[in-house]
Structure formats: C-alpha cells, structure tokens
C-alpha cells in the first residue's frame, strides 16, 4: 500500500501547490474521532490512485497557519487541489464512494 504523504508548512507549497497532479489533502487532528474514521479511507485512496493523485494529511494542531490560510474551521476537512487551487472542499466524514466521486471529477 502506498503511504500517504505527511504534509507540513515546510513541504506544502512544493508537494501540493506546485504539484502537476491533483492533490487531496486531509486536514485532521489526533483528538478528532471523525478524523480517525476517515483516515483508513485516505490510506486506501492513496493506494487506489497511486501515480495519478497526490494524497496527503496535514495535522492542524501542528500547522495552524496553513489550516487558517485555507479556511479550515472544522475537521476533518478534505481539500482537493488542482493547479495549486482548491477546487473542492469536503467537511466532515464521508463514505468512500462519495469521496471517490468527488476525486474522480477532478482527475
């Protein structure tokens, strides 16, 4: 299984904003129950879309400024980036089929 990229302020611009691929970023925190529920889906997505999609996780407690920069006020929030821009925002837990439909619109 492909690992999900750990994102933080030092690599976010290079990995996500300048990525030639569509990027899916899960904004999460360790204390968040719904974040723990969606985490296996994010891992599965990384494997299922290997080579076609960048999948990453950003801990909001460790990267507050980035979370604020992208208007993340509730978690989990999954942002889909294309060409360095947010093209989709999903707040809260979603089932696998719904997440995949959202991602497929932007591939």
Model's pTM, two decimal places?
0.94
Closest CA to 39 of 64, 76, 68: 76
Out of 32, 70, 102, 106, the active site residue is 32
| 78 is known as an active-site residue | no
The tokens for 15 are: 């990995």
Domain carrying residue 71 = 5-104
8 A C-beta contact, residue 27 and residue 35: no
The domain that holds 15 is classified in CATH as 3.40.30.10
Compute the mean pLDDT over every residue in the chain, rounded to the nearest whole number.
95
Residue 27 annotated among the catalytic residues of the structure: no
The mean pLDDT of 50-67, rounded to a whole number, is 96
**Predicted local confidence at residue 29, as pLDDT:** 97
> Domain tally for the chain?
1
Q: Which of 4, 7, 25, 35 is catalytic?
A: 35
- Compute the distance between CA of residue 35 and CA of residue 81 in angstroms, rounded to an integer: 19
Distance of CA 33 to the CA centre of its chain: 17
pLDDT at residue 2 in the model: 60
pLDDT of residue 106: 95
The predicted structure's pLDDT at residue 57? 97
CA-closest candidate to residue 83, choices 7, 10, 28, 17: 17
């Amino acid at each position: 299984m492909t690992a999900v990229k750990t994102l933080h302020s030092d690599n976010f611009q290079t990995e996500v904003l300048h990525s030639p691929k569509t990027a899916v970023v899960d904004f999460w925190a360790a204390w968040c129950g719904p974040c723990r529920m969606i985490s296996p889906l994010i891992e599965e997505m990384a494997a299922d879309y290997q080579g076609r999609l960048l999948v990453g996780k950003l801990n909001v407690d460790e990267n507050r400024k980035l979370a604020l920069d992208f208007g993340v006020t509730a978690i989990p929030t999954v942002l889909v980036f294309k060409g360095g821009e947010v093209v989709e925002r999903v707040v809260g837990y979603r089932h696998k089929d719904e997440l995949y439909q959202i991602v497929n619109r932007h591939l």
